[in-house]
Amino acid sequence: MISLTRSEIEALIDLPAAADAIEAAYRAASSGDVNLPPVGHITFPDRDADCHIKYGHVKGDRTFVIKVATGFPQNDQRGLPGGNGIVLVMSAETGTVQAILHDEMVLTDIRTGLGGAVASRTLARTDSKRVLVVGTGPQARRQIEAHAVLMPQLSFAVWGRDSGKAAQLVVEMSDNFDVTSAPDLQIAARQADIIVTATGSTTPLLVSDWVQPGTHITAVGADAPGKQELDVALIARADVLAVDLASQCLDHGEVSHAAQSGLIRPGDLTEIGTLLQGSGLGRTDERQITVADLTGIAAQDIAMANAVLHAWRMQNL
């Protein structure tokens, strides 16, 4: 049995290759080639924390994957990471454990960043240059890293509810990326070509009136019931509503709030995998507002686990 630590896992990840795997996972999920049961959620309201359990099996694969990821934001007060987790790779032939990836949530963080960047590259205007990142946590960093790899022409501005954390993120990332602070969210949103929201907010942060025609929004924070980053009026206003998995997003994604209010219908959603296959309409006009609502799908966790294990086997031949 293979057992890898976080540091060993990170050393095995090649971002461009992983991005290709994430794009393929989008396609596979929309093609019906992945068995994706409903996501498991455990909430801890007194800690403002949660746990996600995602699992699935790609048709024909000899293994299946079970991932457990936790988010405990108050851990920073204890000097502990805010996220943790583990990925189990198991045989689809015998049910035995093939690999334990003690990733401490790094695989989730990286695949979410890459999933966001793939969505932005698919839907944003080709001349996009300015990205506003809303959030200051680990996922904000991953979104900057992934977007810079897939769309190297971009520069980034960071806004956070804690201005001190936003300033610190900028300091830490400025050596490798074109990153500045955005002191005013409304002004920054009006100036952005792409907006990426990566927070655990339970109340809308981004208001429809602040978003200009032609803007693309990638929202990755609403990955559990009760979370919301976008004004429902913005969801209703969008010309293109793309999702990673329609059933999942209608249950607990950004679009779920607008759907429950009767502002949109399930038929208004297009899965990103469908767009990547060329079977659906994405952006068709420079002035359209496009939104990608990403709740995270097990197909991507499978892709990341497979990529890590393939790299490990290549090193250990």
91: number of Cβ within 10 Å: 12
Number of domains in the chain: 2
User: What is the tens place of the pLDDT at every residue in 70-88?
Assistant: 999 899 889 999 899 999 9
Say what percent of the chain tops pLDDT 90.
96
User: What is the tens place of the pLDDT at every residue in 2-29?
Assistant: 999 999 999 999 999 999 999 999 999 9
Q: What is the pLDDT of residue 76?
A: 85
Same domain, 223 and 290: yes
Establish if 231 belongs to a structural domain: yes
Q: What is the pLDDT of residue 92?
A: 97
139 confidence band (pLDDT: 50, 70, 90): very high
Question: Do 6 and 102 form a contact (C-beta atoms < 8 A)?
Answer: yes
Domain that holds residue 116: 108-297
Same domain, 199 and 149: yes
Strand partners, 70: 51, 84
Q: Name the amino acid, one letter, at 43.
A: T
Which of 53, 56, 57, 55 is CA-nearest to residue 40? 53
At CB < 8 A and 24+ separation, what contacts does 90-97 make?
90/63, 90/64, 90/65, 90/66, 91/62, 91/63, 92/57, 92/61, 92/62, 92/63, 92/64, 93/62, 97/1
Establish if 4 belongs to a structural domain: no
User: What is the tens place of the pLDDT at every residue in 278-317?
Assistant: 887 899 999 999 999 999 999 999 999 999 999 999 999 7
Cα separation of 273 and 297, whole Å?
A: 12
Cα separation of 220 and 139, whole Å?
A: 9
Q: What is the pLDDT of residue 281?
A: 83
Establish if 100 belongs to a structural domain: yes
Flag whether the pTM goes above 0.85: yes
User: What is the tens place of the pLDDT at every residue in 38-63?
Assistant: 999 999 999 989 999 999 999 999 99
